[in-house]
Amino acid sequence: MKDRYESKDIEPAVQAEWEAAGSFAAREDAAKPKYYCLCMFPYPSGRLHMGHVRNYTIGDVLARYMRMQGYNVLQPMGWDAFGLPAENAAIENNVPPAKWTRDNIRHMKGQLKSLGFAIDWSRELATCDADYYRWNQWLFLRMLERGIAYKTTGTVNWDPVDQTVLANEQVIDGRGWRTGALVEKREIPMYYLRITQYAEELLAALDRLPDWPDRVRTMQANWIGRSEGVNLAFPYDIAGNRGELKVFTTRADTIMGVTFVAVAAEHPLAELAAGRDAKLRAFVDECRRGSIMEADLATMEKKGVATGLSVRHPITGAEVPVWVGNYVLMAYGEGAVMGVPGHDERDFAFAKKYGLPILPVIDVAGKPYSTDAWQPWYAEYGVCVHSGPYDGLDFNAATNAIAKDLEAKGLGRKQVVWRLRDWGISRQRYWGCPIPIIHCPTCGDVPVPDDQLPVRLPEDLVPDGSGNPLAKSKAFLECRCPKCGAAARRETDTMDTFVDSSWYFFRFASAGNDRAMVDGRAAYWLPVDQYIGGIEHAILHLLYSRFWTRVMRDCGLTDLDEPFQRLLTQGMVLNEIWFRKPATGRIAYYNPAEIEAGGEGDARKGVLKSDGQPVEYGGIGTMSKSRKNGVDPQDLVERYGADTARLFTMSNVPPEHTFEWSDEGAEGAFRFLKRLWKIVHAHVEGGPAQELDVAALDGPQRDMRRQVHQALVKVGDDIGRRRTFNTAIAATMELLNALGRFADSSPAGRAVMQEALDFMVLVLSPVIPHAAQAMWRGLGHATLVVDERWPQHDPAALVQETVEIVVQVNGRLRARIAVAAGADEAIAREAALADPGVAKFVAGQPVRKLIYVPGKLVNVVV
């Protein structure tokens, strides 16, 4: 064993040993318990960032730990390879997205390998490979057959200059990020997946996921958003147009307080009125330019214009004015809402602004009501007042009575609605999975027959930022109708990339099968036992995967309802954001490493090192390619080695917390590794240790051995149960400090040390697998650590004769006393009261009460 720790000598050699032994190739083996450990696969953005390192190190530690527990472990890796960044890079560098993506994959795969993750690379997949995405297409066709996939219109951001659809991310302050043009809304035909059909099941099943974090289950439940309410209709007869304006409300009890209704700009009534009113026309046009993002909609100034039209109140028959509101979304519900200014904060503000009447119709436990200013209790449940026949009824009674009356008139009924909306999957983009549809002038939209799958995406196109290049590619576009054989055109929309990531975990377990989407191997490995990924995926990706799994189940492809047994949501890795915002065009971001921060003593003032000019501080945010605030882990690996990079990312912070990046800290991890190496080396230099004879140990040796076994128990619990890797590592650091002080070179002392170092190397091996292997050899073992079992602790070693307990007087710490382990209350009481530090504060006062927590504390209440 060398006297200096040199990661550059150790790591490639150990990786070569794993490779030669085929250590990480997973084979289905019904005789062994399986463990499928999966990290969310990366988008091949170009280089690994610290978020990846954190994610994959967590997964790798768990995979290696479970393997040491005797499980047959599968840890695969792949690439979420379709997406927008490849198109942006293509425009910038004039290379096809395919080339850019595959180059990135090659580079990042090398980076992952250098970090020594225990990955079964034989199962690698990339979603941009036709072998993979053909099954997206295949299942999409099954969904069409079952009515789960359907076509309707949807709203998109439209850049009128580039004549192209923009992603939300590409809209900045209402303008296209490349052109700066005001973005418009457009209604275009799109394919949707009927996830709402599974809403009830997706909600109910959350209760059967005890090993998911509560916060994720809560977020999903709220996202699905079951609410009970009443669907009702306001009839109208306007210039010969008879109809009903439909709205949904969860507060039918306030119906007698309705003083207006508001419709979306795209609503037929708005269109009708705009035709004869220039002011309204202008407003409707303005609304069309608004954002399609919910966050914008919820925070923008609520504006409205009266249409001059009115509808009839479904209960009273009174005339109710119709307004157009910029906050009403056509795509949401019926595109209309009823306005109850008395009991809805938004309606209250709207009524104040436009001088509409405010009618209080609910009394909340006698709390005062004034139309002067909104008070939070106005929106609470109460008892109906000024509501004619409903006076005195509470929320439930009023809702029931009103629903009954509406039903009798044929103007409404109770209904359960979901916040969840169907999943629109059409993207007007090139770098994605083609939707397998052919448009025939005579037969209409014709699904591509199974035997013509996959519909291959051409890989040689270079987008230019205007429109979808597929729509300009004759070779792709022109085809024959599968039904009638006439000349036809292919659908040029591709699928949302969330489709790709909704089932890749099945495919890892059916790698290489070119005849079926999944096979029997998936039945062996699935469900994923432990899934690990960023908290930012808590809703969409996980919900889509749960949905997709159920569709596969209903198509007979799996028996599972849920794909992920246990979920760990790692916190994000954050870093500072620095940018410059030019008068026109897109914002320029700079990596924090390029910034000199702290000018004028203010950490939020900075200049760009290269030109000395000021840059703006954008706060702390997630590391992302678009904001250029990533940290390159390669620097860390080259400087300290993979083991230090791994150790560092697992130290200090629990995995679920956000991690604010700082350049300091890696040194500490590196120092620990070097100290561990040194103590192992020093021990090995002393020659082979004798066999451990527990009965022959003296007091200090027994104490040392107790600490070793206590640490072993703690590390196992922290990794196996709590997943708090930071405290596990802290425990090993504490133990190393204790071992450093344990200078006992007697034969028995060296035997204790040998056991301690063997354990230390084994329990740290999931985190620092290369160094652990080298030290394991040094300690005299011929085997590969990856094939070793987790060490068993000796219960006898943990036994303590006396324990220290804390004595409080009136809840304040006054003394520590030693009592025999297992002492009863009488003994503890006597010992506590006898202590001078305690007696001082008791000072002869009678003891009113005494609380004794065995082995921990005595609290004397006087």
Partner RNA sequence: GCCGGGAUGGCGGAAUUGGCAGACGCAGUGGACUCAAAAUCCACCGGAUCGGAAGAUUCUUGCGGGUUCGACUCCCGCUCCCGGCACCA
**Which parts of 574-603 interact with RNA (CB under 7 A)?**
574
426 binds RNA (CB under 7 A): yes
Q: Which stretch binds RNA (CB under 7 A): 385-393, 468-476, 608-616, 803-811?
A: 803-811
Contact 772, 764 (CB under 8 A): yes
339 binds RNA (CB under 7 A): no
Position among 52, 123, 267, 427 found at the interface with RNA (CB under 7 A): 427
Burial class (CB in 10 A: 0-12, 13-18, 19+), 787: exposed
Provide the minimum distance between the beta carbon of 714 and RNA in the complex, in angstroms, as a whole number: 5
491 binds RNA (CB under 7 A): no
Provide the minimum distance between the beta carbon of 280 and RNA in the complex, in angstroms, as a whole number: 26
**DSSP one-letter code for 815:** E
Q: Which is nearer to RNA, 418 or 524 (CB)?
A: 418
Closest to 421 in 3D by CA, of 154, 165, 230: 154
The residues in 533-572 that bind RNA, with binding defined as CB under 7 A, are 535-541, 572
662 binds RNA (CB under 7 A): yes
Position among 38, 190, 551, 832 found at the interface with RNA (CB under 7 A): 190
Closest to 108 in 3D by CA, of 53, 160, 154: 53
420 binds RNA (CB under 7 A): yes
Position among 13, 25, 167, 516 found at the interface with RNA (CB under 7 A): 167
Its sign, for the CA torsion 427, 429, 431, 436, is positive
d(CA 209, CA 220): 12
Provide the minimum distance between the beta carbon of 298 and RNA in the complex, in angstroms, as a whole number: 3
99 binds RNA (CB under 7 A): no
Provide the minimum distance between the beta carbon of 437 and RNA in the complex, in angstroms, as a whole number: 15
Q: Which is nearer to RNA, 265 or 402 (CB)?
A: 265
Position among 23, 153, 591, 652 found at the interface with RNA (CB under 7 A): 652
219 binds RNA (CB under 7 A): yes
Position among 301, 372, 451, 664 found at the interface with RNA (CB under 7 A): 664
715 binds RNA (CB under 7 A): no
E strands, 250-335, where?
260-263, 304-312, 319-325
The two structure tokens encoding residue 209: 């996921």
Q: Which stretch binds RNA (CB under 7 A): 359-367, 510-518, 603-611, 661-669?
A: 661-669
The residues in 341-360 that bind RNA, with binding defined as CB under 7 A, are none
The residues in 668-697 that bind RNA, with binding defined as CB under 7 A, are 668-669, 671-672, 674-675
Contact 339, 304 (CB under 8 A): no
Q: Which is nearer to RNA, 25 or 167 (CB)?
A: 167
Provide the minimum distance between the beta carbon of 548 and RNA in the complex, in angstroms, as a whole number: 14
Position among 15, 494, 497, 575 found at the interface with RNA (CB under 7 A): 497
d(CA 645, CA 643): 5
Bridge partners, residue 172, by sequence: 175
d(CA 258, CA 252): 10
Q: What is the DSSP annotation of 224-241?
A: H-EEEEEEEEEEEEETTE
d(CA 154, CA 147): 18
333 binds RNA (CB under 7 A): no
450 binds RNA (CB under 7 A): no
Other C-beta atoms lying within 10 Å of the C-beta of residue 452: 14
84 binds RNA (CB under 7 A): yes
Between strands 573-580 and 659-660, the pairing is parallel
Position among 93, 152, 163, 218 found at the interface with RNA (CB under 7 A): 218
d(CA 5, CA 641): 10
720 binds RNA (CB under 7 A): no
229 binds RNA (CB under 7 A): no
714 binds RNA (CB under 7 A): yes
Provide the minimum distance between the beta carbon of 273 and RNA in the complex, in angstroms, as a whole number: 28
48: helix, strand or coil: coil
How many residues touch RNA (CB under 7 A)? Answer: 105
d(CA 97, CA 92): 11
Its sign, for the CA torsion 760, 763, 768, 770, is positive
The residues in 275-294 that bind RNA, with binding defined as CB under 7 A, are 292-294
Bridge partners, residue 187, by sequence: 155
640 binds RNA (CB under 7 A): no
**Placement of tokens 């760990």 in the chain:** 568
E strands, 540-610, where?
564-570, 573-580, 588-590, 595-597, 606-608
DSSP H/E element including 168? none
Position among 16, 21, 620, 799 found at the interface with RNA (CB under 7 A): 620
707 binds RNA (CB under 7 A): no
Instruction: Sketch the per residue contact string, 730 through 769, with RNA: x for CB under 7 A, - otherwise.
Output: x--xx--x--xx----------------------------
Q: Any idea how long the chain is?
A: 862
Question: CA torsion angle for 759, 765, 770, 772 (degrees, to 10)?
Answer: -10
496 binds RNA (CB under 7 A): yes
